[in-house]
Amino acid sequence: MPISFKPYTRVPGFTPEFQRVHEFLLRLNDPKVINEGFLWGRWEWMFSLKFLDTANLHKIGIWEDAGRIVGLATYEQTVGNVWFSVDPGYGFLKKEMLLYAKDSLDKDGEVQVLIRDSDSDFQEIAAGMGFKPTQEQECNAVIPIEESLMKYTLPEGYRIVSLAEEFDLNKYNKVLWRGFNHEGEAPEAVQDLLDRQMELSGPHADLNLKIAVAAPDGQFVAYCGMWHLPGNDYALVEPVATDPAYRMRGLGKAAVLEGIRRCGERGAKRAYVGSSQQFYYSIGFRPYSTETWWKHSSGIK
């Protein structure tokens, strides 16, 4: 049976089609992680955020072999930037996937696609189609989950708490609002809190792995979200935030390492993060892979 193409469903949310892609991403990285830049946790986090452009979901492309997903071309927030996931046995689809991205996932005639720096074959195909590499890159880092690397200390009066133990949307909202450097007080309208609740409501989200550091007054001042499924030997860090007023105290480090430690207790051997920030390197992460954004412009605006 020939390879077939189908568009993703127009229906937003955690649909059966969402679950099919989730299962593909799991299978793709089993028994070895080969696509650390777009693991299943990133797919679920993407669908958990209010920023997702749900009007263009049907432009996400899926390639199937006998009903089994073997390729995915998707945006993360909206069209214009494209991530690829392809089964290693179906590398011949890369040209078709690039063509699809250029023709269907562009924004105002321009599209950027993310290609692993070590994938020279994919680079050659992209160059032949008029894509040009840019200075923009995505970096991935990894940390082995070893007891010696999971050590941290907290200042007196501070404590670790999971959202399974203390589910407080106002505190969670505030630490992410402040931690991502927004000005002023965190909005607390009903819809704002519902959006935050959605971030924690994915079908595979585990509140035991959503870790906060609480200050002496009880407010959350650092946060780390972890994604791990029992049976997987890898975990994903996303997102991480520390209130600017509480930085440089080891609180972000504590939240991240505690989250990773808990994943280790469940069987994870390593954790990935999509970052090259010195913060991660300073707490034990190591550079792992780099991907470059390649751009194509049709000249149509």
What pLDDT sits at residue 273?
98
What does the pLDDT look like over 112-147, one tens digit per residue? 999 999 999 999 999 999 999 999 999 999 999 999
- CA-to-CA separations, 281 to 16, 41, 156, 284, 289, in angstroms, rounded: 38, 21, 25, 5, 14
How does residue 298 score in pLDDT terms, banded at 50, 70 and 90? confident
- In sequence order, the β-bridge partners of residue 51 are none
What does the pLDDT look like over 103-116, one tens digit per residue? 999 999 999 999 99
What residue spans define the domains of the chain?
A: 4-138+291-297, 146-268
What pLDDT sits at residue 301?
47
Distance CA 177, CA 186 (A): 6
Asked whether the beta carbons of 260 and 228 are under 8 A apart, the reply is no
Give the pTM: 0.96
| pLDDT of 299 above 80 | no
| pLDDT of 300 above 80 | no
Q: Which of 86, 93, 11, 85 is nearest to 52 (CA)?
A: 11
- CA-to-CA separations, 226 to 85, 156, 236, 274, 292, in angstroms, rounded: 21, 25, 6, 13, 25
| pLDDT of 44 above 90 | yes
For domain 4-138+291-297, give the CATH number: 3.40.630.30
What is the sign, positive or negative, of the torsion defined by CA atoms of 93, 287, 284, 181? negative
Same fold, 4-138+291-297 and 146-268: yes
Mean pLDDT of 47-69: 97
Distance CA 41, CA 64 (A): 22
User: Tell me, which fold does domain 146-268 have in CATH?
Assistant: Aminopeptidase (3.40.630)
What pLDDT sits at residue 78?
98
Task: Please name the residue ranges forming H helices in 29-156.
Answer: 40-48, 94-104, 120-128
Distance CA 295, CA 113 (A): 7
Mean pLDDT of 248-268: 98
